Amino acid sequence: MIIALFLPCFENQTSVIANTLKAHLALLGANLIYGFNYIIAKGIMPHKINASAFVFIRLFCGTILFWIVKSAIKEKVAKKDMLRLVLCGLLGAAANQLLFFNGLSLTSPIDASIIMTSTPILVLAFSALILDERLTYFKLLGTMLAGVGAIVLIVHGNRSAGTSSLLGNMLVFLNATAYALYLITVKPLMKKYNPLTLISWVFLYGFIFMLPFGLPEIITTSFKDFTISTILAIGFVVVFTTFFAYLFNIYALKYVSPSVNSSYIYLQPVVNFVIVSVYAALITNSVYSQDIDIVKIMSCILVITGVYLVSKTGRQKSLL
């Protein structure tokens, strides 16, 4: 079924509308998975498994799964494109996952999901600098609003109750920066290669870059302390957050721009707010019961408003 989704990339394409619709559905599915991932992954770090060891498992299993599926697609990558793929592996797999999981292990799932919504703003900034994308007044205003929201939340992480932390928030923001650069870097390759080919190489190179950080921690991990819930949580992250979510994202990027791809990220804090609220309500003395406060809600509103202005279409006067 997964192979069938990607094989048409080599055949005559159906209507643009149908492909665009499938791309948006893929982005919706990926970001719903990411929304659940925050609290599921946070629930076993670091008391069951350290962040870098978790990333080792994620990249190791993901690399194997992607290359198994890719075996049905016989496609070679030109030597001149390999350096770009190496950079994609560094940004989109190794740095992205190491920074995110280490950040999430230190901070609140709510904080992490809100900070990640700054990705579209970062994509815009890098698009203007690297791809010479037109910058409008709405985009500038949106960038400023989202930037204020992200900065307030990061600083607030060191003062608020609950599981927030300044260091964790900063690591998550650096992860958003790495992922934004990855979207910009991988986009030109989408016109030349099948998405499965690209993501297989991205994960392979990412795994290599991750080894110095993840291998020492995976060796010292106490697997005998894993419970059924620990195994299920790791399984969710490997199968859904890693395998399916990356497939959905890379597939969608073939038909939509990096800015459209990244704009779907605003769904994540909404999903996460609901999950954390339900979790805190059902479990007395939940550690997450103090993770939602007025500052975080206002920060979320600022960031999402900024993302809306950045993605606003229509005739707008260009600044550049």
Instruction: Concatenate the DSSP letters of all residues of 90-136 into one string.
Output: IIIIIIHHHHHHHHHHHS-HHHHHHHHTTHHHHHHHHHHHHS----B
Cβ contact 250:195 at 8 Å? yes
Q: State pLDDT tens for residues 60-85.
A: 999 999 999 988 888 989 999 999 99
What is the rounded distance in angstroms from the CA atom of residue 269 to the CA atom of residue 284?
23
181 Cβ contact list (under 8 Å, min separation 6): 91, 122, 126
Q: Give, in order, the Cα–Cα distances in Å from 115 to each of 146, 223, 279, 282.
A: 9, 32, 21, 26
Highest-pLDDT range among 87-96, 185-194, 270-279:
87-96
Q: State pLDDT tens for residues 102-140.
A: 998 888 887 887 788 778 778 877 877 776 666 677 777
End-to-end Cα separation, the chain, in angstroms = 45
**Sorting pLDDT into bands at 50, 70 and 90, what band is 285?**
very low
81 three-state secondary structure: helix
Phi-psi region of 132 (alpha: psi -120 to 50; beta: other; left: phi over 0): left
Q: What is the pTM of this model?
A: 0.78
